[in-house]
A and B are shown apart, each in its own frame.
Chain A
Amino acid sequence: MSDIAERVKKIVIDHLGVDADKVVEGASFIDDLGADSLDTVELVMAFEEEFGVEIPDDAADSILTVGDAVKFIEKAQA
């Protein structure tokens, strides 16, 4: 797993209080990890803070899974 993926995973575990083994690439924040709409807003803010990137609202709306977040951040930092 890449460094970005590890850091994303850690943020998700901390914010959603879920077990590490559930935080897989295809896991949906809302459907699989118990997040509500406010949790996802806060998650996106935490990603912005951790990686120093800006995630506009329309882009945030398309980040639905752990893998979506990793891909967005990798692209933004490339």
Chain B
Amino acid sequence: MRRVVITGTGMVSPLGCGTEVSWQRLLAGQNAARVVTEFEVEDLPAKIACRIPVGDGSDGTFNVDQWMEPKEQRKVDPFIIYGVAAAEMALTDAGWHPQTDEDQIATGVLIGSGIGGLEGIVEAGYTLRDKGPRRISPFFIPGRLINLVSGQVSIRHKLRGPNHSVVTACSTGAHAIGDAARLIMLGDADVMVAGGAESPICRISLAGFAACKALSTQRNDDPQKASRPYDRDRDGFVMGEGAGIVVLEELEHAKARGAKIYAEVVGYGLSGDAFHITAPSEDGDGAFRCMTSALKRAGLGASDLDYINAHGTSTMADTIELGAVERLVGNAASKISMSSTKSAIGHLLGAAGAVEAIFSALAIRDNIAPPTLNLDNPDVETAIDLVPHTARKRDINVALSNSFGFGGTNASLVLRRYDA
């Protein structure tokens, strides 16, 4: 099977616009949660979220005009803009701008989203009700469809290889990267632009996830304490937004053009819980089988793992994931660091797995495990280092990133340091 490496990354996260600014702020222990002020939240049980810092583009702020023409912006939901922006960053970072027919056809796109253009669908619903069908814009559909991130990126950069998308709730970003890597391994493409994008922070989504009992609702007056994975006083996740995109490349293709290599994608596992629409099974069987299969694909054992970027949403499911990891690693538990970066950026839903895979690659690059913020009182005792409060310098050669989604859909990625 052909080998696949990460040669570019791009990110729009609640900690900033750009991979490096987000990463440095994450390592510094910054927390992006705040009270939502952009729309009415008074009647919502959850009034907080991790929002992208918007500004003129300086100091890590996101300036939408830098990434999409104003006349195009109003035709699409924000998740498409975030995805387009992160993809452009990733391609620039990789130095990959295919000009020839051959290179364009060898490059594909596989970007997903968990729920897509929810806000735009709500608004169009009001228009339909109040003004009738003749007022529904021709851009309503192409501005909301989940695969239109892949479509827009393909059109903008003339990427004419496989054009695909994933929708697996909170596992979307990880599935997109894993599936895209396989397309390269199987020879369908030499380069893939892959990841996830999400813009879920709107009234209907906060109402819907709160109704599922998934959101933190007890710390509206202290938002930076709300996302607290593994802590005994956690009460749900904090919603985030943004996009994470990687450029995946066949190893020899990357070497031939002297590309910078972040890490190799060595393992990818998938499983289904077959249990419940929103909850994982108590025994963590789905997560366990998913991680096991990713390690098997990587040809590695649990004792090879150095760092795990947990799904860890700050819900009751955290301890189920932790139990599954303990079962997986056995006696190797004490050598492993595992953190949830959702403690700093919230849960980016369909973008989470991609953003967290990038953080995992950077953990390998810089030999440092990002922290789990707010972990004051661990809910259960474990020999695994949960990296409470502050980042930890340590050797990291192999990292695993977990993503689990509603519907019982699980994905694990294993990344390894690439030594030339």
Contacts and interface: CB of A to CB of B under 8 A. Distances in A.
B71 A45 contact: no
Count chain A CB atoms within 10 A of each CB in B134, B138, B142 and give the residue with the most: B138
A38 B69 contact: no
Contacts of A49: 135
A63 interface: no
B120 to A, nearest CB: 14
Contacts of B142: 38
B71 A15 contact: yes
Nearest to B70: A17
Contacts of A25: none
Contact of B134 (A15, A16, A17, A45): A45
B69 A42 contact: no
Given A17-B69, A17-B70, A17-B71, A38 B139 contact: yes
A41 B138 contact: yes
Contacts of B134: 45, 48, 54
A16 B138 contact: no
Nearest to B137: A42
Contacts of B139: 38, 42
For chain B, give the interface size range. Answer: under 10
Interface in B124-142: 134-135, 137-139, 142
Nearest to A37: B138
Contacts of B137: 42, 45
B336 to A, nearest CB: 52
A45 B135 contact: yes
Contacts of A54: 134
A17 B65 CA distance: 13
Nearest to A46: B137
Contacts of A45: 134-135, 137
A57 to B, nearest CB: 10
B13 to A, nearest CB: 28
A31 to B, nearest CB: 18
Interface in A1-37: 15-17
A30 to B, nearest CB: 14
B81 to A, nearest CB: 15
B156 to A, nearest CB: 15
Contacts of A15: 71
Contacts of B138: 38, 41-42
Nearest to A18: B71
A64 to B, nearest CB: 17
Interface in A27-78: 38, 41-42, 45, 48-49, 54
A43 to B, nearest CB: 10
A16 B70 CA distance: 9
Contacts of A48: 134
A25 B138 CA distance: 25
A76 to B, nearest CB: 15
Nearest to A15: B71
Contacts of B69: 17
Interface in B19-72: 69-71
A38 B137 CA distance: 9
A45 B142 CA distance: 17
B290 to A, nearest CB: 41
Contacts of B135: 45, 49
Contacts of A17: 69-71
A45 B134 CA distance: 8
Nearest to B71: A17
B142 to A, nearest CB: 8
Nearest to B69: A17
Contacts of A16: 71
A15 B73 CA distance: 11
A48 B127 CA distance: 15
Nearest to A43: B138
A38 B71 CA distance: 13
18 contacts: A15-B71, A16-B71, A17-B69, A17-B70, A17-B71, A38-B138, A38-B139, A38-B142, A41-B138, A42-B137, A42-B138, A42-B139, A45-B134, A45-B135, A45-B137, A48-B134, A49-B135, A54-B134
Interface of A: 15-17, 38, 41-42, 45, 48-49, 54
Given A17-B70, A38-B138, 16 more contacts: A15-B71, A16-B71, A17-B69, A17-B71, A38-B139, A38-B142, A41-B138, A42-B137, A42-B138, A42-B139, A45-B134, A45-B135, A45-B137, A48-B134, A49-B135, A54-B134
The 3 closest A-B pairs by CB, nearest first: A17-B71, A38-B138, A41-B138
